[in-house]
Structure 1
């Protein structure tokens, strides 16, 4: 497996995953938000970044409502436009803690992959999935391809489409588009075959 490609999955997975997992007001995000506030951050991205993505992220970062936008898209209390959990898309009942999450937990248990979360989130949260991709790329690269093909790419495209189409936040629209492009890049790098699954949302 290409070491440079794994390093890029590790870096981009950590950057993107944290933006989904943490509220913009949390200290863990300060250096990441600082990175995206740089006027030329896109030149440091491994693949060419569309100008629309750059515009959305730069415009969104100056919003004084960014934390409120995060709450609306990831916490509630209203119905979430794009729920960030895999089982919502993969389970016939569109519920949390569905069968796909149980399969993910079995995959992690079988391969002795343990991680501690700071929030009470199901493990198939998009932020955790990206962070876990980064972890596997660094520490268990032999597991990365099966993790991506069976547990990430099976639903992430649909989720990111919904997030990109929401009207609540220009920043998270830009983040969704950047994540879409980056995951396509990962797929090209490793020639990942996606196991087709029926989506229920």
Structure 2
């Protein structure tokens, strides 16, 4: 499935059923967020919530990101999160790909799209995520490093993701001049 077989666009509330379907395919029950939580993310950060769909219109994956700060950092299952007025963190909350889309470059395409958008916001300095289900190995390949949640004041938020969750961070690199 080369890139021209899917396109990435902003997620909309009309995508909630497809997002929920893919989430159930990818995550254990403890990580299933309700449609209200996804709707909240889409409303709070519409430019940072994406879906990929194939030419036939089927949603193949989603990528939910939020603008955050250490003082206002999202918890799992939150349906009332409000992005801070002065965010300095791009938070990669959730990326999930249907089985048919895995291994076809969609993760890299999502990351490239979200970084392009984030680099337009000069206030964003770091990218954080919480790796679950052993995904920290994948994120380390993308340049993320584990962070001590207690040291950065995010222990309470991290605990909502379960005892094996790993907080990870990397700097948001400026765009490369061409």
Higher relative contact order (CA 8 A, sep 6+): 1
TM-score (norm 2): 0.31
Q: Which has the larger radius of gyration?
A: 1
TM-score (norm 1): 0.28
